[in-house]
């Protein structure tokens, strides 16, 4: 495999203007397939989630899954698309062993949704509008495993094995119009666009949206043109770029590769490229040719889908708040700074914080626990923070124990560990581990006297009204009691002793 020449990204950007385009395939999480009643389930034993329809047996006929149509309309609405009054399915004819009928039932010139847009917010807050050409319904193919040859690659394989469990899983393909004007932010926009689509379909509840499982798959089209030229350059289509990071890297790589080709005076070849995560580069697939004559024609075994305006409005009424609007609303409600809120979003705990607040915690308490304690533990455990096993009720309970002076913050983290270890509720763990703060004031007063004696200048400042200096004395007491004291109670006793109002 020859290595393609590339230009540095900066040089490529100096000379050329990138134009992007995306085809994102979203697998719907319906209970059954698009055209058969076989279950739509990931990861079962090969060729068990199939019936005669999914295997394309002689004599079979498709029947459309109503829920899949409704999910497709919801996606169209969430992408600000128009919903076609009437649309049809069409056959896309091509031979491939993962395609049991040797045609894919898809939509051609009559997609269910068209002419939409999505406003994409980049990291720095810049908003970029991506126009959506269409979203159409189709079916997924089976899964090929290449055996022999190098590491599951198709090249050099001796034979392939086909599992049709995925065959017929409902897909919605979302196609953008050409995206112009992104400039050097093209790779970042690519990642943000795919992330936004993923977030939308997840938020709608119509897809599991797990990229690592192929629920959301992206083909990225890239072309370059010299600055100032209107006409688009020749594009490449990089297939199956299946993580957000890979989308960014693949677009960046293709820009650099195209720039080198154009610099050399050669034309870019219109072709399919394959993304390789290991080398972070693409290799040539096959050139577009007359073999791409898909001979589309209206699917004679299916009848048109008519989306009445009543039906569309009924579905629109069920749509959840769009993710971008929701973020804006929550940020304001919680009073977090830009930085705080971005950290929360990036850490993936926005939903958890919302639930925790709903359970009775304040916005600051919820953030303190999720960002300060849980995210770090989740990282160590290599799971999503929401999957670590901490419920909003646990946090509310922990916080109440602290506020009531039953335990201090340091103890609370130990209680949290106890909860995660399955030792019981926070109250039970406090009991079992004997974590109550020292409640007899006698030993505390002794420690306070000692601390005040050790730092007479600080004591003087507090007496003079500089109450904020009290931290040094509290610290001394806590040190002396090895953290067993309730810091709040210590503070009260110090102020009392010095005759100062808190």
Partner 1 sequence: MTELKNELIRHSAADLAAKLAAREVTAVEVTQAHLDRIADVDGQVNAFLHVNSEEALAVAAEVDAARAAGGSAAEELHALAGVPIAVKDLIVTIGQPTTAGSKILEGWHSPYDATVVKKLRAAKMPILGKTNLDEFAMGSSTEHSAYGPTRNPWDLDRIPGGSGGGSAAAVAAFEAPLALGTDTGGSIRQPGAVTGTVGVKPTYGAVSRYGAIAMASSLDQIGPVSRTVLDSALLQEVIGGHDPFDSTSLTDPFNNLVAAARVGNVAGMKIGIIKELHGEGYQTGVENRFNESLQLLKDAGAEIVEVSCPNLKYALGAYYLIMPSEVSSNLAKFDGVRFGLRVLPKDGPMTIERVMGATRAAGFGDEVKRRIILGTYALSAGYYDAYYGSAQKVRTLIQRDFDAAFAQADVLISPTAPTTAFKLGEKLDDPLAMYLNDVATIPANMAGIPGLSLPGGLADEDGLPVGIQLLAPAREDARLYRVGAVLESILEEKWGGPILAKAPDLKNAVLGAVSNTAGGSN
Partner 2 sequence: MAAINRDDVAHLARLAHIEMSAEELDRMAVELAVIVDSVKSVSEAAGEDVPATSHPIPLTNVFREDVVGHTFTAEQALSGAPDAFENRFKVPAILDED
Where on the chain is the footprint of partner 2 (CB under 8 A)?
30-32, 36-39, 45-52, 55, 63-69, 86, 88, 95-97, 102, 144-146, 154, 157-164, 239, 272, 274, 285-286, 290-291, 293, 295, 298, 300, 302-306
* Measured distance CA(231)–CA(246) in Å, rounded: 28
Per the DSSP assignment, residues forming a β-bridge with 346 are none
Q: Which is nearer to partner 1, 60 or 122 (CB)?
A: 60
Q: Which is nearer to partner 1, 19 or 50 (CB)?
A: 50
Place of tokens 């067993």: 484
* Measured distance CA(422)–CA(70) in Å, rounded: 42
Binding site for partner 1 (CB under 8 A): 51-52, 55-64, 91, 93, 95, 97, 100-103, 160, 162, 293, 295-297, 300-303
Q: How far is the CB of 33 from partner 1 (least distance, A)?
A: 14
Q: Which does 103 bind (CB under 5 to 8 A by kind): partner 2, partner 1, none?
A: partner 1
Q: How far is the CB of 100 from partner 2 (least distance, A)?
A: 9
Q: Which does 305 bind (CB under 5 to 8 A by kind): partner 2, partner 1, none?
A: partner 2
Q: How far is the CB of 135 from partner 2 (least distance, A)?
A: 19
Place of tokens 């203007």: 17
Q: Which is nearer to partner 1, 141 or 197 (CB)?
A: 141
CA distances from 40 to 30, 65, 74, 362, 382 (A): 7, 12, 19, 41, 28
Q: Which does 68 bind (CB under 5 to 8 A by kind): partner 2, partner 1, none?
A: partner 2
Residue in 66, 65, 61, 43 with CA at minimum distance from that of residue 51: 61
Burial class (CB in 10 A: 0-12, 13-18, 19+), 71: buried
Q: How far is the CB of 298 from partner 1 (least distance, A)?
A: 8
Q: Which is nearer to partner 2, 157 or 467 (CB)?
A: 157
Phi-psi label, residue 356: left if phi above 0, alpha if psi -120 to 50, beta otherwise:
alpha
Q: How far is the CB of 232 from partner 1 (least distance, A)?
A: 21
Q: Which is nearer to partner 2, 27 or 397 (CB)?
A: 27
Q: How far is the CB of 147 from partner 1 (least distance, A)?
A: 13
Per the DSSP assignment, residues forming a β-bridge with 92 are 104
């Amino acid at each position: 495999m020859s290595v393609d020449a590339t230009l540095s990204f900066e040089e490529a950007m100096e000379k050329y203007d990138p134009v992007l385009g995306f085809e994102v395939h979203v697998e719907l999480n319906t209970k059954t397939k698009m055209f058969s009643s076989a279950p739509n389930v990931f990861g079962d034993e090969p060729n068990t989630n199939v019936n005669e329809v999914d295997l394309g047996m002689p004599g079979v006929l498709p029947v459309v899954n109503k829920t899949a149509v409704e999910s497709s309309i919801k996606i169209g609405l969430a992408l600000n698309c128009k919903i076609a009054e009437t649309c049809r399915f069409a056959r896309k004819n091509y031979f491939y062993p993962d395609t049991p009928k040797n045609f894919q039932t898809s939509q051609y010139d009559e997609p269910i949704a068209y002419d939409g847009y999505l406003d994409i917010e980049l990291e720095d807050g810049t908003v970029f509008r991506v126009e959506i050409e269409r979203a159409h319904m189709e079916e997924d193919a089976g899964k090929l495993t290449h055996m022999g040859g190098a590491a599951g690659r198709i090249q050099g394989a001796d034979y392939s094995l086909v599992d049709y469990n995925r065959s017929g899983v409902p897909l919605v393909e979302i196609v953008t119009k050409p995206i112009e004007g992104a400039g050097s932010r093209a790779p970042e926009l690519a990642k943000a666009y795919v992330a936004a689509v993923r977030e939308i379909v997840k938020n709608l509840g119509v897809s599991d949206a797990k990229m690592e499982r192929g629920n959301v798959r992206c083909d990225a089209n890239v072309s370059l043109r010299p600055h100032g030229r209107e006409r688009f350059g020749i594009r490449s289509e990089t297939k199956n770029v299946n993580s957000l990071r890979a989308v960014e890297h693949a677009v960046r790589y293709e820009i650099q590769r195209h720039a080198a080709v154009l610099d050399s005076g050669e034309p870019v070849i219109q072709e399919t490229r394959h993304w390789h995560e290991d080398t972070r580069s693409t290799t040539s697939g096959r050139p577009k040719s007359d073999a791409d004559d898909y001979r589309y024609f209206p699917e004679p075994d299916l009848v048109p889908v008519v989306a009445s305006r009543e039906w569309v409005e009924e579905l629109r009424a069920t749509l959840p708040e769009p993710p971008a609007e929701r973020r804006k609303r929550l940020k304001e409600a919680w009073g977090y700074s830009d930085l705080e809120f971005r950290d929360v979003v990036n850490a993936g705990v926005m939903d958890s914080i919302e639930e925790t607040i709903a359970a009775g915690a304040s916005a600051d308490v919820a953030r303190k626990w999720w960002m300060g304690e849980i995210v770090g533990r989740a990282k160590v455990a290599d799971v999503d923070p929401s999957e670590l096993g901490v419920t909003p009720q646990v946090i509310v309970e922990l916080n109440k124990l602290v506020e009531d002076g039953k335990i201090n913050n340091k103890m609370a983290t130990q209680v949290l560990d106890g909860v995660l270890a399955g030792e019981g509720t926070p109250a039970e763990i406090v009991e079992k581990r004997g974590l109550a703060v020292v409640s007899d004031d006698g030993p505390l007063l002794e420690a306070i006297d000692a601390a005040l004696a050790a730092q007479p200048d600080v004591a003087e400042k507090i007496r003079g009204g500089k109450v904020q200096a009290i931290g040094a004395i509290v610290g001394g007491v806590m040190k002396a009691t090895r953290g067993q004291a309730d810091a709040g109670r210590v503070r009260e006793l110090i102020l009392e002793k010095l005759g100062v109002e808190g």
